[in-house]
A and B are shown apart, each in its own frame.
Chain A
Amino acid sequence: MADFVQFAVSGLTIGAVYALVALGFTLIYNASSVVNFAQGEFVMLGGMATVFLAALGLPLPAAAVAAVIAAVAVGIVVHALVIEPARGANAVTLIILTIGVSLVLRGAAPLIFDKQFHKLPGFSGEAAVGVLGAAVQPQAFWVVGGAAVIVLALKLFLARTLFGKAVLATAADRMAAMLAGINTGVIVGFAFATSAAIGAIAGILVTPITLTSYDVGVMLSLKGFAAAVLGGIGSPLGAVAGGLLLGLLEALAAGYLSSTYKDAAAFVVLIAVLMAMPGGLARVKQVERV
């Protein structure tokens, strides 16, 4: 039992990271149908920028805020220079564009930062806390809690504010939203800025656990994308569920089956889920273009 709890804690912590990356995917996908493979790079930016700003002497909270602002600025620039000019391009072209962006960010990061691994101190210290017989890093609570707060805030924002509703309208039908007088370019730009912020916050929250370096983004983009699709791409709650499930699968597979084949186990289940529910966990309706 204690072992199971330990595995579950491990899975949920990593799953919360995947969930945050998946959430970023979802937001941009909803606003613009773009699958942004540079999402993992925002996570890297958040972690690395905080590390380096803190090294320059900034207090940690200030460094974290500045890092998020920097990531948002990058998100806005990416949208303005790359995504907006490519409006109307087909889905694969857009994917390649975002892969190009991720290469640019990953190529620039070692020039601005460096190529070594870095860490941040745990926000509430490093001493493990006992939960139902399992030892938990205090930072894990920050990660899971942070993910919960972000999901809630996003949900409230989308449901309660006029701007949020405009985002939802754009997601549902861009043409109709435009006809209704919504400046969809601004909405998509906003989605990029918000995704960048979510990514950067995720990066800051997880760096005390996962450590960071200029190239952590690749794997995170991959797993985050898988999680978003598992949840049913386009559904924020699905993204969170997909992320947590993917993390849990990996940890349980590592604990009970084989640590070497844990990623395989996770992907086999993922493919099986997609077979059974071709729209992902949230059963998003697949739109068929005629």
Chain B
Amino acid sequence: MAFKLSPATLIVLAAIAIVVLPGLVLPSAYYFRVGALVFISALAVIGLNLLMGYAGQVSLGHAGFFAIGAYGPAILPAQFGWHPLMAAFAGVVLAAALAFVIGKPILRLKGHYLAVATLGVGMLITLVLTAEVAITGGPDGMAVARASVLGAKLRTPETWYWICGVLLILGVVAAINLLDSPTGRALRALHDSEVAAAGLGVDIAGYKLLAFVAAAIYAAVAGAASALLNGHVTPDVGSFLHSVEFVTMAVIGGLGSILGSIIGAAVLVILPQALTVFHDYETLALGVMIVLFMLFLREGIVPGLARRLRAGQT
């Protein structure tokens, strides 16, 4: 058999397997919920990875876009009677538009300066969501109307497991297509060396902005899915700690690795569930795990293991 799969096809197949195989055997709504949460985080992290892993730009305010996506289906149906799915779509568009408008000026900043600017953007978004009680419900958050499609209410964790799973697979396919296009090659050139890329005539500012907007869209879609899954949102979804969680997932899984984004998200979502036995030691244990991962698999789980495997073969 001379039949050989391209790496891109392998990644998509792996993503499908990650969604479908557990879906067939998970025993209860609780597991489906955790699975859905993994997919939601993974989606946001894949977007962030386009920005960090390929365009080489750090964002510490990414959860802000997640929050905009989450509050779309919360606010619009409650205040204006929109259909939740339409509202979710509007939230994503708003997040993309906002990313476009603010991305232009702040992407001129570099490294830690960009990190602080994005951190500020995330904080501003959360602050508005916390302060405008009449619209957002304030710090306690607000209920999200159940979405229904053709008369069937989308409410069980199992339903959302499959919806989020499909969104994740679509997100993986979209990311791979983007990276395989000339745009993707430009993005990678950007990561390797901005100066060299500019020398080759790459429109640096344009591509950075593109990655920033794409990352915002991924985050907002994930946010909308989480709001509809939960039936309730709080401003915490946009917090600095949530942003840091996304960055941590991306780095632990492996910068520039799509599968790594999924694995990174899975580790950080599932670990706290597994650590509940230790209760009082949970934060401590989480910190220790992160440090160990970063010390011993510096490039992240997926690239790190892949390199070790290859080294083992030769």
* A86→B294 contact, CB < 8 A: yes
State how many angstroms separate the Cβ of B271 from the closest Cβ of chain A. Answer: 12
* A288→B195 contact, CB < 8 A: yes
* B127→A264 contact, CB < 8 A: yes
Residue of A nearest to B249 (CB): A96
**CA–CA, A100 and B288, complex, Å:** 7
Q: Among B11-19, B116-124, B154-162, B164-172, which stretch is in contact with chain A? A: B116-124
* A107→B281 contact, CB < 8 A: yes
* A111→B291 contact, CB < 8 A: no
* A286 proximity list for chain B (CB < 8 A): 110-111, 113
Q: Tell me the chain A residues, 261-290 only, with Cβ under 8 Å from chain B.
A: 261, 263-264, 267-268, 270-271, 274-275, 278-280, 286, 288-290
State how many angstroms separate the Cβ of B53 from the closest Cβ of chain A. Answer: 9
User: Which of B128, B252, B285, B288 gathers the greatest number of chain A CB atoms within 10 Å?
Assistant: B288
Whether A101 sits at the interface, judged by CB under 8 Å, is yes
State how many angstroms separate the Cβ of A86 from the closest Cβ of chain B. Answer: 6
Q: Among B25-33, B81-89, B144-152, B240-248, which stretch is in contact with chain A? A: B240-248
State how many angstroms separate the Cβ of A206 from the closest Cβ of chain B. Answer: 21
Whether B106 sits at the interface, judged by CB under 8 Å, is yes
Fill in one digit per residue for A205-241: 1 if any B CB lies within 8 Å of its CB, else 0: 0000000000000100010011001100100000000
Instruction: Identify 7 new A-B residue pairs, CB closer than 8 A, beyond the known A82-B295, A93-B294.
Output: A101-B287, A110-B280, A222-B119, A222-B240, A229-B116, A267-B124, A268-B124
Residue of A nearest to B248 (CB): A96
State how many angstroms separate the Cβ of B110 from the closest Cβ of chain A. Answer: 6
Whether A202 sits at the interface, judged by CB under 8 Å, is no
Q: Tell me the chain B residues, 230-256 only, with Cβ under 8 Å from chain A.
A: 240-241, 244, 247-248, 251-252, 255
Give the residue of A35, A107, A271 whose beta carbon is less than 8 angstroms from that of B282.
A107
* A288 proximity list for chain B (CB < 8 A): 194-195
Q: Tell me the chain B residues, 248-279 only, with Cβ under 8 Å from chain A.
A: 248, 251-252, 255
* A111→B195 contact, CB < 8 A: no
* A274→B113 contact, CB < 8 A: yes
* B108 proximity list for chain A (CB < 8 A): 275, 278
Whether A91 sits at the interface, judged by CB under 8 Å, is yes
User: Which of B109, B116, B119, B244 gathers the greatest number of chain A CB atoms within 10 Å?
Assistant: B116
**CA–CA, A102 and B286, complex, Å:** 11
Q: Tell me the chain B residues, 85-142 only, with Cβ under 8 Å from chain A.
A: 105-106, 108-113, 115-117, 119-121, 123-124, 127-128, 131
* B120→A270 contact, CB < 8 A: yes
* A107 proximity list for chain B (CB < 8 A): 281-287
Whether A106 sits at the interface, judged by CB under 8 Å, is yes
Q: Mostly helix, strand, loop or mixed at chain A's interface?
A: helix
* A100→B291 contact, CB < 8 A: yes
Whether B58 sits at the interface, judged by CB under 8 Å, is yes
Give the residue of A93, A111, A290 whose beta carbon is less than 8 angstroms from that of B251.
A93
* A104→B287 contact, CB < 8 A: yes
Whether A89 sits at the interface, judged by CB under 8 Å, is yes
* A261→B284 contact, CB < 8 A: no
Query: With A89-B294, A229-B113, A264-B124 in contact, do A96 and B287 touch (Cβ < 8 Å)?
Result: no
Residue of B nearest to A86 (CB): B295
**CA–CA, A106 and B116, complex, Å:** 23
Residue of A nearest to B110 (CB): A286
**CA–CA, A91 and B127, complex, Å:** 28
**CA–CA, A85 and B294, complex, Å:** 10
**CA–CA, A139 and B283, complex, Å:** 33
Fill in one digit per residue for B292-308: 1 if any A CB lies within 8 Å of its CB, else 0: 00110010000000000
**CA–CA, A97 and B298, complex, Å:** 10
Whether B38 sits at the interface, judged by CB under 8 Å, is no
**CA–CA, A274 and B116, complex, Å:** 9
Residue of B nearest to A97 (CB): B294
Whether A103 sits at the interface, judged by CB under 8 Å, is yes
* B281→A111 contact, CB < 8 A: yes
* A99 proximity list for chain B (CB < 8 A): 244, 248, 290
* B123 proximity list for chain A (CB < 8 A): 263-264, 267
State how many angstroms separate the Cβ of B48 from the closest Cβ of chain A. Answer: 11
* B127→A104 contact, CB < 8 A: no
Give the residue of B105, B131, B294, B295 whose beta carbon is less than 8 angstroms from that of A275.
B105
Whether B52 sits at the interface, judged by CB under 8 Å, is yes
**CA–CA, A102 and B298, complex, Å:** 18
Whether A260 sits at the interface, judged by CB under 8 Å, is yes
Whether B20 sits at the interface, judged by CB under 8 Å, is no
* B113→A89 contact, CB < 8 A: no
* A103→B287 contact, CB < 8 A: yes
* B127→A92 contact, CB < 8 A: no
Whether A132 sits at the interface, judged by CB under 8 Å, is no
State how many angstroms separate the Cβ of A217 from the closest Cβ of chain B. Answer: 12
* B112→A233 contact, CB < 8 A: yes
Residue of A nearest to B282 (CB): A107
State how many angstroms separate the Cβ of A72 from the closest Cβ of chain B. Answer: 20
Query: With A91-B111, A225-B116, A264-B127 in contact, do A103 and B251 touch (Cβ < 8 Å)?
Result: no
